[in-house]
Structure 1
Amino acid sequence: MAVKEKEVLGTRKMERIEYVGLTVLGLSLAVLFFRPGVIGGIFDAMVNKTVPVIVKVYLTGTLGCAIILSVMTGRILERLGFTDALVRLYIPLARWIKITPLVIVPAIYNILGDINAAGRITAPYLKKVGATKDEQKIAVATMCQGNQSFSTLMLGILAFATGGIWAFPVIFIGLFLPVILVPLLLKVTLYRNVSFKDISDMPRFTPSTPIVPTIFNGAREGAELLFLLLIPAAAVIFAIMGALDYIGIWKPIENALTGFLGALSIDPQTGIQSILVSPTLAMNTLVQTIKNIPPRFAIGSFIIAASGFPLQIPLAQIPAVWSQNSDLTAQEALEAAVVGIIIRIISAFILAMIITPLVV
């Protein structure tokens, strides 16, 4: 038996990943021999880039508490019928454009701050009431028009108050209006196989949890969001940025993103944070910097933050969750999410131009 096992191991075909591993091993040994300080320098750069954000912003700053309290607030609003109320208001328009009102429910859950719940809870309902694949794609793309953390909305409102910007037009036009108009836009362009379904076919989305457990569960959910998702995500991205900065690659990438976002009337600093790290962190930064940037850039920054970003959400989370809970494949969910964030980037530029004269 031992001889046979040895023969099998000796003749096993090399996989591609093993060649990659050997290459990495060879490069590591070469670096250790010729420039051993590089590996330590990269790690030190990763730590120095990550620690100030994780410790001073999330843990000992106000952002951590803001996240916990905002998620709790979102769950209270949900318990008070916020989701069902918005669905009721949307029914007349849904009947007119001949689409199921359920397509906006994932977006409402997203605004309340849980993109995973948006998929896990609402996708099966869409499937249950017979929503077509096109309607489910519209639901995904529309979901990307709202903030994936309620703390983003709360900190955005705080930033506008700090900067003396009237928040109501920004929130109404920049957040709620796209949730209504994007299904119509997609229905007449990309996803046309839709049909209206009456409210009697749809479930209620207001939970029956007593108010006290709702409050404490919301706070616990906020803590889970902070420690299990946002802090690890921020640590990964800032560590990568630190490593790239050490070897001289990050600066050209940052300059390209800065030019692109500036051309779209989006504050580059907070825009990069929204796209790569965390919209919540971006809005926390905006609270501190809003007095030093043009109002148009601040509004564009909020709109891009109130979206399906950062990138790991449309590229990973949405395909994973929706492929498990809807009729969509991971590829179809990914495509719909990309459509949604492209619409959001374009609308950030257009809406910032429209809203700015109304609020300053």
Structure 2
Amino acid sequence: MAVKEKEIVVSERKMETIEYVGLTLLFLSLIILFVKPSLIGGIFDAMLGRVVPIVVKVYLTGTLGSAIILSVMTGRILERLGFTDALVRVFTPLAKIFRITPLVIVPAIYNILGDINASGRITAPSLKKAEATKDEQKIAIATMCQGNQSFSTFMLGLLAFTKGGIWAFPIIVVGLFLPVILVPFILSKTIYRNVKYKDISEMPRFTPNTPAVPTIFNGAREGAELLFLLLIPAAAVVFALIGALDFVGVWKPIESAISAFLSALSIDPKTGLQSVLVSPTLAMNTLVETIKNVPPRFAIGSFIIAASGFPLQIPLAQIPAVWAQNSDLSAGEAMQASIVGMIIRIISAFALAWILAPFVA
């Protein structure tokens, strides 16, 4: 008896949208290689030209890389000495009024004391351990962006105000410490409302039992891992993109637009641009030299924008990378929260520059 063979029908796979994108890129690449092959090499060279000075001169041979390692180590020492648990106790009465977990303020305090990246690495796991909601973790990120991430930024700002005859005390209190209290309250009532108050009795202890020597050396090693595995790649991505945009002639207009925008917001365009694109510490160092030629209103705005989560690679790359690894948030959610925090900071810089200038100059 003959057995009839089954017919095998092979159906063609349906083209996905991303495959059309890939084919378009392939054809464009072939056209560029035929018409102007130097364009591809030029873009890569421009990306390299932007990335190398930042990675090598700032992170590797400059002070920033060492500062990050030391800040993580210092943060771990503070955590081991009960600093996190002490902060939770201090802010519990305030958190009870706001009906929010007191831990949302902790990353901002670590940030002011050390570094925004170390702050996320140390305090994000604590929020996760305390079972903070995603909204509360987002509030923590946005609040963290309200303070200076470098003690040198703070000290140089004070020096600039002294040289310019500007009374620094109200600026420090209203510009640095008040937002740490107000931002969690405002966000918990508006954008991120899925919050719940937790008393100390409902939260675990955050002080580890690690011996002294391993705390120090493990903290330094963790700082090095953060630097080489997360922060340098994140910075490379942002500056490579800037290099590519600069090569095709798009970046200069963007840079000019940012400068004009800062000037309209009562922020000194020169130092403001340095804060946004390069380094807040460099911006405050420049302000020390130029303060006598800068109106007090613009000097105040420049200091407040420097005491924030800038430059751009931090909210767009470093915060998402660090918090996605250490919290319940995805990289996109962490970036969204950091952008919210930066928008609040820009608005507060504009408002406080106008409000404080008549009282401090």
Per the TM superposition, whether the score is higher than 0.5 is: yes
Query: 1:299 deviation in Å?
Result: 1.0
Answer yes or no: is the 8 Å Cα contact 1:304–1:348 preserved in 2. no
* Distance change in 2, residues 1:53/1:337 (3 Å): closer
Answer yes or no: is the 8 Å Cα contact 1:100–1:197 preserved in 2. yes
Indicate yes or no: 2:279 matched with 1:282.
yes
Aligned equivalent of 2:216: 215
Aligned equivalent of 1:177: 178
For the pair shown, which has the larger CA radius of gyration, 1 or 2? 2
Range with bigger deviation, 33-42 or 87-96: 87-96
1:196-245 Cα distance to aligned partner (Å, 9 max, x none): 44322222222332333222222222222222222222222222111111
Query: 1:173 deviation in Å?
Result: 3.5
Indicate yes or no: 2:63 matched with 1:71.
no
1:53-103 Cα distance to aligned partner (Å, 9 max, x none): 222222222222222223322333333332222222212222333433233
Indicate yes or no: 2:301 matched with 1:300.
no
1:15-45 Cα distance to aligned partner (Å, 9 max, x none): 2222111111111111111111211221222
The 5 Å alignment of 1:321-340 reads 322-323=327-328, 338-340=339-341
Range with bigger deviation, 245-254 or 50-59: 50-59
SS of the equivalent of 2:236 reads: helix
1:119 to 124, 127, 134: 124
* Distance change in 2, residues 1:212/1:316 (3 Å): closer
Question: What amino acid is the match of 2:258?
Answer: L
Answer yes or no: is the 8 Å Cα contact 1:50–1:235 preserved in 2. yes
Indicate yes or no: 2:15 matched with 1:11.
no
Range with bigger deviation, 312-321 or 30-39: 312-321
Answer yes or no: is the 8 Å Cα contact 1:110–1:118 preserved in 2. no
| Structure 1 CA distance for aligned equivalents of residues 140 and 353 of structure 2 | 19
Answer yes or no: is the 8 Å Cα contact 1:119–1:318 preserved in 2. yes
Answer yes or no: is the 8 Å Cα contact 1:83–1:108 preserved in 2. no
Aligned equivalent of 1:48: 49
Query: 1:192 deviation in Å?
Result: 5.4
Aligned equivalent of 1:130: none
| Structure 1 CA distance for aligned equivalents of residues 180 and 251 of structure 2 | 35
Aligned equivalent of 1:231: 232
| Structure 2 CA distance for aligned equivalents of residues 188 and 273 of structure 1 | 34
* Distance change in 2, residues 1:141/1:51 (3 Å): same
* Distance change in 2, residues 1:303/1:209 (3 Å): same
SS of the equivalent of 2:208 reads: coil
TM-score by length of 2: 0.77
Aligned equivalent of 1:146: 144
Question: What amino acid is the match of 2:131?
Answer: L
* Distance change in 2, residues 1:158/1:217 (3 Å): farther
Question: What amino acid is the match of 1:120?
Answer: P
Answer yes or no: is the 8 Å Cα contact 1:159–1:283 preserved in 2. no
1:98-119 Cα distance to aligned partner (Å, 9 max, x none): 4332333344455553324433
1:164-199 Cα distance to aligned partner (Å, 9 max, x none): 558765554333322222232234445556554432
| Structure 2 CA distance for aligned equivalents of residues 46 and 218 of structure 1 | 33
Query: 1:261 deviation in Å?
Result: 2.5
The 5 Å alignment of 1:156-175 reads 156-160=153-157, 163=160, 165=162, 172-175=173-176
TM-score by length of 1: 0.77
1:145-177 Cα distance to aligned partner (Å, 9 max, x none): 225998x22231243255355876555433332
Query: 1:125 deviation in Å?
Result: 0.8
SS of the equivalent of 1:126 reads: coil
Range with bigger deviation, 302-311 or 82-91: 302-311
Query: 1:249 deviation in Å?
Result: 0.9
Unaligned runs of 5+ in 2: 1-5
Query: 1:46 deviation in Å?
Result: 1.6
Superposed CA RMSD in Å reads 3.7
Aligned equivalent of 1:310: 315
The 5 Å alignment of 1:17-28 reads 17-28=18-29
SS of the equivalent of 2:15 reads: coil
* Distance change in 2, residues 1:310/1:101 (3 Å): closer
Aligned equivalent of 1:350: 351
* Distance change in 2, residues 1:236/1:313 (3 Å): closer
Answer yes or no: is the 8 Å Cα contact 2:107–2:123 preserved in 1. yes
| Structure 1 CA distance for aligned equivalents of residues 207 and 94 of structure 2 | 22
| Structure 1 CA distance for aligned equivalents of residues 153 and 12 of structure 2 | 61
Question: What amino acid is the match of 1:121?
Answer: S
Answer yes or no: is the 8 Å Cα contact 1:71–1:221 preserved in 2. yes
Answer yes or no: is the 8 Å Cα contact 1:147–1:153 preserved in 2. no
| Structure 2 CA distance for aligned equivalents of residues 68 and 228 of structure 1 | 13
